[in-house]
Every structure is written in C-alpha cells, then in structure tokens.
Amino acid sequence: MSSLCADDSLNSICSSGSSNSNKSSSSSSNNTSSSSSDCPQRRSSSDYHYKIAGIPYTDIFRVVSQAVITIIEDNQHLYNKVPYHTSIFTGLDWVNELINGHPECIHTELGVHLHVFNALIATLQKMGYSDLKYVMLKEQLAIFLYGSVTSLTIWHIGEWFQRSNDTISK
C-alpha cells in the first residue's frame, strides 16, 4: 500500500511495503491514517501547498493579482475618459470676437488686418474651399494664421481653439 508523505515533493508516494501486516486494525478500515512506520510525518490534505518552480501557488497568485491591480490602476485614464476641451469659448467664438472687436486685435493675434482676413476668406471660397462639417472656413483660416504668427505647437493651438490635434493638423 502507498501513502503521501509530508517530506516528499508533490505527488510523491512513499511505499509502505508489500504487505499490510504492519497496519493496525483501525488503519485497515481508514485509508487516511497509517502506522508510524509507513509515513512518520504525514500531513492532512489541507496542509499540502502546491508549488511551481519551488514557489507556492498562493504566493504566485498574490503577486499576479497585485500586478493586475497595479496595471488597471495605472491605466484608469484609458478607461475613464474625461473631456479635455471644456472651455465655454470655442475657437469660432474667439474668431468672431476678433472680427467684431477692436480692429487691432485681429492684427495682433492673426498678423493681418480685418480687410485682409475677409479678402483671404473670399479668395479661398473662389478656389473652392468651404466650411467643413464642424469647422467653419473663417476658423480654419484663423487656425492657420494663428499658428503661423505664434509658431506654437499643434497641441497648444488645439488647446486655444478647443479642437483635437487631428483637426488642427488637417
């Protein structure tokens, strides 16, 4: 008969000899217990700790669980989207303010006077350019002129006009 021993590795079996003559009468009715000559340090089934490469499963599970939690916490910004362009003023509002405001404001911000800005709009329209679905032609021209005058990055211009980087770079 065979039985599991505590000092052996997982799934190892210690042999108890070819005969059952050493067993007490109580052990013949109960397969879970054996005499001291079979396995002196026998463990119960709840005492077994399975291992991979010598590391207990519980430790591996704990480390992997913590790694998964850390990855999820570090990437919350990818799952919980928060609107970025949330100003109450749009780029079009700012362009309209330049057009309807003090005559020097448009020159300061876009590098052209109002009559030149209007002439550029008319020329672009004659060339076949028009408003896009979400961006009017005067805002498109203002984005180009503002970027040319300030030499700001697409990211900064997008922030100013409340537009995505893709919209600014088109």
In the predicted model, what is the mean pLDDT of residues 143-162? 89
Single pTM value for the model: 0.51
More confident residue, 169 or 47: 169
Reported residue count of the chain is 170
More confident residue, 35 or 108: 108
**Residue 98 to residues 59, 108, 146, 154, 170: CA-CA distances in angstroms?**
65, 10, 12, 21, 23
Closest CA to 20 of 4, 6, 31, 5: 31
| Mean of the per-residue pLDDT values of the chain | 75
Q: Which residues of 68-105 are buried (b: 16+ CB within 10 A; e: fewer)?
A: eeeeeeeeeeeeeeeeeeeeeeebbebbbebeeeeeee
More confident residue, 23 or 65: 65
The token duo for 112 is 């052209």
Closest CA to 159 of 141, 146, 145: 146
Element at 73 (helix H, strand E)? helix 57-74
